Amino acid sequence: MKSSKSKILIIYTGGTIGMVEDHVSKTLKPFDFNQINKELPELRKIKCHIDAVSFKNPIDSSNVSPVIWEKIGDYINSKYNDYDGFVVLHGTDTMSYTASALSFMFQHLNKPIIFTGSQLPIGMVRTDGKENLITAIEIAATKKEGEPVVQEVAIYFEYQLYRANRTTKISSEHFEAFKSYNFPPLAIAGIDINYNHSVLYRPSIKKMNYIKGFDTNVLVIVFFPGLDLESIKEMIQNSSCKVVVLMTYGSGNIPMSDKITKLIKKQIKKGKIFLNVSQCKAGRVEQQKYETGIQLHNLGVLGVYDMTLEAVISKTMLYLHKFPNDVSQFTTEFLTEKAGEFSI
């Protein structure tokens, strides 16, 4: 689509941003996004065509599941050729999970899919929702030489545009709700929107490919001082999990012993996949840095570089579904960069 005036679709899935006060009951309720220009007359000043749709039953983001990821993805895919960009309004609690999932579902994406939301309802005087939504639309509509400036899934929040699969929610009370610890912002909004063109993602293949399907048989084990080995054993053996995510210390370390070595070795022989994710928000897993990490590497545990837990979970579920019985193929695809989700 090469027209100078961009056509943007807003999709409201649920969340705080879509709430306004009922003048009679004084309670918050979702507003009609078909009347978005009435609620936000400022949108008329943006030089693009805007359509808006809403889930029939908006969902609290704590209730979001891979089924919802597919519902959002399917709808965008069905409208992909009709619009220049998409803005997805979503609750903040699981926004990073959903946005990360879509970054892997829409492979070779060549249009912007911008997620945003708010900490205060859009109907409140001090809301952060208006600025977040208006700027997200402007970003989704921005072109350079007829092409979208942003061609990836991103999260816009409190003057910062982040690569979606690099984000983590860091606050439930401050307007700056998200952070990208291991990757710089794609853009910063001030008087102007200043894009960091050197880090914007560009697909190597021009034709977008949409894939979906998630296998949720993933177990996350968080290590802490005093964690009992028998508890780990029970968690793994009593679970139908195909992938075990080890939330490790520092650059990828856990307390090693003969018992835990034998446990991991035995489970890997049974076909289970172990992923090493650091509990640190910043930095990366380097399994060959310390002795305990080297032991995990030698056992066949996969380090995930500097990926976020949200990206690891969504990417794992997608490729587990695609390669349910092929550990080798899963490993190859999982450790291949798909949408700028890690740095080597």
Output the CA angle 204-208-212, nearest 5 degrees: 120
Share in percent of the chain as helix, strand, coil (round to 5): 35, 20, 45
Residue 162: name the closest of 175, 171, 153 by CA. 153
Cα separations in angstroms, 249 against 63, 168, 177, 253, 291: 29, 18, 24, 5, 13
Cα 101 from chain centroid (whole Å): 6
Beta-carbon contacts of 84 under 8 Å, excluding residues fewer than 6 positions away, are: 1, 6, 7, 8, 48, 111, 140, 141, 143, 148
Q: Which of 13, 16, 308, 316 is catalytic?
A: 16
Please answer whether residues 246 and 254 qualify as being in contact, where contact means their C-beta atoms are separated by less than 8 angstroms. yes
Tokens found for residue 111:
């249009």
> Residue 84 carries which DSSP code?
S
Active site residue 16: yes
CA distance 99 to 105: 10
Contact 99, 161 (CB under 8 A): no
- List the beta bridge partners of residue 218: 243
Return the axis-axis angle of helices 309-322 and 95-105, rounded to nearest 10°: 40
The tokens for 117 are 């939301």
Catalytic sites, residue numbers: 16
